[in-house]
Chains A and B, each alone.
Chain A
Amino acid sequence: MTTYIIRRILLVPLLLLGVTIIIFGMLQFLQPAERAALYIRDIPKNPEALESVIRTYGLDKPIYIQYWNWLVGQKNPNTGEIHGGILRGDFGYSRVGAEPVIDMIKHRFPATLELAIWAIIPIIVVGVWLGIQAAINHNKFIDQFARVFSIIGYSFPAFVFGLLVLMIFYANLKWFPPGRLSNWVIAEINSGSFKTYTNLMTIDALINGRLDVLWDALRHLILPVITLSYISWATFLRITRSSMLETLNQDYMTTAKAKGISTKVAIKKHALPNALIPVVTISGFTVVSLLGGVVITETIFNFPGIGSAAANAASQLDVVTVLGFALFNGVILILANLVADILYALVDPRIRLSTN
């Protein structure tokens, strides 16, 4: 187990190196003048000033020197300050956001994270539960229902479903508003009477002991959570169902029954741990896609997360910002995969104890 985890962790720097090389490669499609945004806020319009910026930050140097500068940053000889350098956490400046890309991520990511946390719970719990019920009641009513449900889930696009729930629950019923917080909460945060610690509003509300703020945050989360759950349930349901069906037909299930174990215990103790192994994999993928920002859902519900910010930057051709987000996303992906691999080993002794 320890060797397995160490080996997986040692892979992380290698993967990160790969990600930086790909992102840097993409940056090379930009003109040197555009790439200046990696180091400075205001790119001068004056050609001579621009030329001096390009020379200062080595944007005309050989590619490996540029890569190194991009990693560690470059000193401005006039001020002595270091600019840029992704290892320092400086991803350059966002034209669209009018702030450093990293600040944009810091402002936007908590919203995405909070949405992801709230969405992943119903996605996994309900999706897996439905899949299990469908499998153990194979070809009975709940199975037929689950199959129809998942076909609809697959074929009904999120932007239609999202607009539909927005129309019903916001426009008609006025129950759940779009956005992330009501204006009065934002006003309280700005005035300092409500302190933020984690920027996850539901958690901050609990820390502050403010149930009214908690309710406000939840009211804004419900519709995007429903939309995200709905589009993911079909996948979880289908994978759990087919994996469970396969497991129930395994020889060791006959052994379990032959030992005199009740069907219920046999399913819980013998079938589930085997059937859930593939679920760990898709859970990893789903968490990554949620944390990377869910563009359509965030845009429809005007939810200020990473997805809507990235979409906005892309539509205005702010490539430095988009690639900054892509880099961030790559890091998350690698870390989430690491966690999934470790979970994998925890549930499957064949992986945990393999010697090669």
Chain B
Amino acid sequence: MESRNQILEVNNLETQFSTWEGVVHAVNGVSFNLAEGETLGIVGESGCGKSVTMLSMLRLIPSPPGRIVNGSAIFKKKDLLKINEDELSTIRGAQISLIFQDPMTFFNPVLTIGEQVIEPLQTHLNISENDARDRAIEILDLVGIPNPAERLKDYPHQFSGGMRQRAMIAMALICSPQILIADEPTTALDVTVQAQIVDLVKKLRSELGMAVIWITHDLGIVAGLVDRVIVMYAGYIVEEAPVKELYRAPGHPYTKGLLGSLPRLDANERERLASIEGIPPVLYRKASTCPFAPRCPYRIDHCFNENPKLMEISPNHKVACWVDIENRKER
């Protein structure tokens, strides 16, 4: 995996939001890499800063109130956080594309699916109306929308949820991007459609050779889909590991808790699902203690004195925790 070229390097990204209650520290020094063709999963509860990290990278957070206060995001030797808006526009939707959670609200209700799917082509490439249309039909067919030439003329409200998400994927892929960022694309869909969308992205990923960042709160989806997982909590990365390693030996109590809350087919059916008590904190200042400590079953006194940094516990496996949870002792 190391031999592959890094296509995206995010360093020490920090994003804050001004609210009436104070400045919310949503993303607190997040760093990660993405290799060409790699699939990276980003996992965490709602409000952990997963989406904000991705939107910050492309400067899509609403500003004000959002503000990127620090960090860099290097894509093809360019810092996405520093280049001007026009230059960034040539990257958005062409080289880095996004698909979103709710395909109903993320489509414009008064424009046809066709108009919206074609838009990235018209924006980024000098292409004739007819060629754009042909390409749109081709890509809608590729994502499995039946009768694409007819359906181009339909409006979003005439599509089913699953079909809308397929159209959203078609819209994101129409310019053949190098990176696809999927922000909880299956959350609003029912389980069978979820599986279809995951399979579709897997298929397209290998056909088009793009890197994928898949944001989700569902570790079950991540298992068969991604190469590497980043777990986020309260705007911090708390664990980073290859997917198999993460499932085999989670290093952070939060990851362990998330895995424990997944239903298992081989479990005793009378057994209750484990849950992590409480909710993630909203940080109005940088954490001086471990932000997970109040909910953590493994906590020790040291957790309340200092916020642990990400440390490598085995090759490619990094954890931000003072406790070696397997051996129940301080690191």
Contacts and interface: CB of A to CB of B under 8 A. Distances in A.
Interface of A: 249-252, 254-263, 265, 269-270, 273-274, 347-350, 353
Contacts of B116: 255
Contacts of B98: 255, 258
Interface string B86-126: 10011111100110101001111111100010011001100
30 contacts: A249-B62, A252-B105, A252-B106, A252-B107, A254-B106, A255-B106, A257-B60, A257-B92, A258-B60, A258-B92, A258-B97, A259-B93, A259-B123, A259-B171, A260-B89, A260-B91, A260-B92, A260-B93, A262-B86, A265-B123, A270-B108, A274-B109, A274-B110, A347-B110, A349-B155, A350-B110, A350-B155, A350-B157, A353-B155, A353-B158
B44 to A, nearest CB: 20
Q: Identify which of A260, A263, A273 gathers the most chain B CB atoms within 10 Å of its CB.
A: A260
Nearest to B86: A262
Contacts of B94: 260
A240 to B, nearest CB: 16
B107 A349 contact: no
Contacts of B107: 252, 255
Contacts of A269: 111
B58 interface: yes
A259 B85 CA distance: 13
Interface in B144-195: 155, 157-158, 171
Nearest to A250: B105
A270 B100 contact: no
Instruction: Please name the 5 residue pairs, one residue from A and one from B, whose CB atoms are nearest each other, closest first.
Output: A260-B93, A259-B93, A260-B92, A251-B105, A252-B108
A241 to B, nearest CB: 18
B155 A256 contact: no
Nearest to A254: B60
Contacts of A261: 89, 93, 119, 123
Contacts of B100: 251, 254-255
Contacts of A258: 58, 60, 92-93, 97-98
Contacts of B108: 252, 255-256, 270, 274
A276 to B, nearest CB: 10
A259 B110 contact: no
Nearest to B62: A249
A265 B123 CA distance: 10
Q: Identify which of B60, B100, B109 gathers the most chain A CB atoms within 10 Å of its CB.
A: B109
Nearest to A269: B111
A100 B219 CA distance: 82
Contacts of B60: 254, 257-258
A251 B98 CA distance: 12
Given A255-B100, A258-B58, A259-B92, A273 B106 contact: no
A250 B55 CA distance: 15
A269 to B, nearest CB: 8
B111 A270 contact: yes
A262 B90 CA distance: 10
Nearest to A274: B110
A251 B102 contact: yes
Contacts of A350: 109-110, 155, 157
Q: Identify which of A254, A259, A261 gathers the most chain B CB atoms within 10 Å of its CB.
A: A259
A285 to B, nearest CB: 22
Contacts of B110: 273-274, 347-350
Given A251-B100, A254-B100, A259 B119 contact: yes
Given A259-B93, A261-B93, A270-B111, 8 more contacts: A251-B102, A257-B60, A258-B97, A259-B123, A261-B123, A270-B108, A273-B110, A353-B158
Contacts of B105: 250-252
Contacts of B91: 260
A260 B124 contact: yes
Contacts of A252: 105-109
